[in-house]
Amino acid sequence: MSARYTDIALACVIAWMCWGLLSLFMGGLPALVAGALMGGGAATFLRHNMVVRGIMALFDPIGIVLPLLIVGQALRTLGLPLPEFAALELVLFLILYVAFLATVFGVVPSDPYRYGYHPKPVAVVVLLLCAYGVLTGNWMVPLIAVAGQAMWVFKIGSSNYFDHILHATLVPVALVTLIARMIW
């Protein structure tokens, strides 16, 4: 179950990378379709390929956040009115997440990551994110939070909840999104 989910998550990540590259040369929708085909194909037929194994090793644990954000972005490209993150939300996320990552390097003398192993702190975090969704009207955040909690409870993927709802690649992704919004 966990391995098959990871196959799907890996396919999403590769599809997203291919989609991003192809969109430099072709329209949004054709790039999306080609990217999805390449992602699915690579995760299915190129499992032994060094590049695919390298991507898997680099991104593991992929969690739920990347696949959900990638699917959300794809659905928006297809014209569905999904909520987007405001620039202020992205800035706040970057500040908080970079601070969270800094704790692992000992820059901040705290270890919030370890609370991701325990049901009580996880329950509090999920409900706080749900409250955030109610206040802002952005249901994407609670969806990621609860889907991540379900994955964590059913032991699909990481044994730490934070690995399901966060991923280090979100830092460059959020930065690039912010810069792109400033340019355009």
Partner 1 sequence: MTTAFVLFLALVSVGLSVMAWRKREQLVWQFTIPQEPASHGVPYFEQVFDYTAPRGQAHSPSILKEDDGFSILWFEGSAEAQADVDIHAVRCVRTEENWQADSPAPLVTRKELSGAFDPEQLVVTLGNTVENETIPQSIFATVVSVGGWAMASVADLRLGHGAAQYARKLNLSPFLNRSYLVKSPMVEMADGSFALPAYFEMGATHGAFVRLGRDGRACDLRRMAGEGEKPIQPMIVALGPERAIAYLRDFDPSGVLLLSRTEDGGKSWSNAEKTTLPNPSAPVAALCIGAGRVLMAMNDDATGAHSLSLALSEDEGNSWRAIHTLEQNAGDARYPMMRRLPDGEIVLTYSHGTKGGIRAFVFNQSWIDTQ
Which residues of the shown chain bind partner 1 in the complex (CB under 8 A)? 3, 6-7, 10, 43, 47-48, 50, 52-54, 56-61, 100-101, 104-107, 109, 111, 113-114, 117-120, 122-123, 126-127, 130, 133-134, 137, 139, 142-143, 145-146, 149-150, 152-153, 155, 158-160, 162-163, 166, 168
Q: Which of 99, 100, 83, 76 is CA-nearest to residue 144?
A: 83
Q: Smaller CB distance to partner 1: residue 34 or 165?
A: 165
Q: Smaller CB distance to partner 1: residue 53 or 181?
A: 53
Least separation in angstroms between residue 145's CB and partner 1 is: 7
108: left (phi over 0), alpha (psi -120 to 50) or beta: beta
Quote the CA–CA distance of 99 and 72 in Å, as a whole number. Answer: 26
Q: Smaller CB distance to partner 1: residue 78 or 111?
A: 111
The contacts of residue 106 (CB under 8 Å, 6+ apart) are none
Residue type, position 11, single letter: A
Least separation in angstroms between residue 83's CB and partner 1 is: 8
Q: Tell me which DSSP letter residue 82 carries.
A: -
Least separation in angstroms between residue 158's CB and partner 1 is: 4
Number of CB atoms found within 10 A of residue 120's CB? 8
Q: Smaller CB distance to partner 1: residue 91 or 111?
A: 111
The b/e string for 152-163 (b: 16+ C-beta within 10 A; e otherwise) is beeebbbebbbb
Least separation in angstroms between residue 21's CB and partner 1 is: 20
Least separation in angstroms between residue 132's CB and partner 1 is: 9
Q: Which of 172, 176, 166, 177 is CA-nearest to residue 62?
A: 166
Q: Smaller CB distance to partner 1: residue 48 or 88?
A: 48
